[in-house]
């Protein structure tokens, strides 16, 4: 397809570089999801491209495979290859040098992770407590002063807004012995959820 010369040497070198050499005789269909993704990346790298477009490359793979895959992406970027990745995982977005939030074909924001956190200056409180109390609390907090959105994160809630003082007063108003409130650092996921609230889906 690319008019490559010495294709056998290129295949062997790429398998070695991406840790696939020991699996060279294994059928692709028998590989795990993580190894299949690595094999796909190897195929993309055969002709030594200057630009890689990766569409949700770690979807459906386990956490260790995701971490290994991202190490490979950073190694490629260090070689001067530009890598454009689409992902719904904000912890993956934090690994990128620059971000662009896109919703319904419209660019919402762009910049480095630090730029986006600084630009929106969100205030976030984390609250922990009994699961049944947190479930009720989520509904009670919505619409209260300073509260832009309430999101469940494991065994906690993240309560986020742009008005830090109003949000702090609301957190104080819901102070209870069974609830543990603490100020937290806003995350890129908080920024994403905040931006999505103002992004209306276009009417077809």
Residue 14: exposure state from Cβ atoms within 10 A (0-12, 13-18, ≥19)? buried
Digit-coded pLDDT (tens) for 163-189: 999 999 999 999 999 999 999 988 888
CATH of the domain at 38: 3.40.50.300
Domain membership of residue 109 (yes or no) is no
Whether 11 and 82 share a structural domain: yes
Domain membership of residue 107 (yes or no) is no
CB-facing half-sphere around the CA of 87: CA atoms within 13 A = 21
Pairwise CA distance, residues 27 & 36, whole Å: 10
Domain membership of residue 75 (yes or no) is yes
**Contact indicator for 146, 131 with CB cutoff of 8 Å:** no
Whether 80 and 15 share a structural domain: yes
Whether 134 and 80 share a structural domain: no
CATH of the domain at 172: 3.30.70.860
Domain membership of residue 99 (yes or no) is no
Domain membership of residue 197 (yes or no) is no
Pairwise CA distance, residues 145 & 167, whole Å: 6
Digit-coded pLDDT (tens) for 137-165: 999 998 899 998 898 888 899 999 989 99
Cα–chain center distance at 71: 15
**Contact indicator for 101, 109 with CB cutoff of 8 Å:** yes
In terms of residue numbers, what domain contains 152?
A: 123-185
Whether 20 and 68 share a structural domain: yes
pLDDT tens-digit profile, the chain (204 residues): 778 888 888 888 888 888 888 888 899 899 888 888 888 888 888 888 999 999 998 887 888 888 888 998 898 899 999 999 999 888 888 889 999 998 888 898 999 999 988 888 889 999 999 999 999 999 999 889 999 889 888 889 999 998 999 999 999 999 999 999 999 988 888 888 888 876 666 555
pTM over 0.85: no
Pairwise CA distance, residues 160 & 120, whole Å: 11
Domain count, the chain: 2
């Amino acid at each position: 397809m690319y008019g490559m010369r010495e294709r056998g040497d290129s295949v062997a070198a790429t398998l070695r570089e991406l840790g696939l050499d020991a699996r060279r005789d294994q059928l692709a269909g028998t590989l795990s999801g993580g190894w299949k993704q690595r094999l796909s990346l190897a195929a993309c790298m055969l002709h030594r491209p200057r630009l890689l477009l990766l569409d949700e490359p770690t979807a459906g793979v386990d956490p260790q495979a995701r971490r290994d895959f991202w190490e490979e992406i950073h190694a490629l970027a260090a070689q001067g290859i530009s890598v454009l990745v689409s992902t719904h995982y904000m912890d993956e977005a934090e690994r990128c040098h620059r971000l662009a939030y896109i919703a319904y074909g419209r660019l919402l924001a762009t910049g480095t992770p630090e730029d986006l956190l600084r630009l929106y200056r969100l205030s976030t409180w984390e609250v922990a407590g009994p699961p049944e109390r947190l479930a009720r609390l989520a509904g009670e907090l919505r619409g209260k002063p300073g509260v832009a959105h309430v999101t469940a994160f494991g065994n906690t809630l993240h309560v986020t807004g742009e008005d830090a003082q109003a949000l702090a007063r609301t957190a104080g108003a819901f102070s209870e012995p069974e609830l543990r409130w603490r100020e937290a650092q806003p995350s890129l996921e908080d920024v994403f959820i905040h931006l999505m609230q103002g992004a209306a889906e276009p009417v077809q």
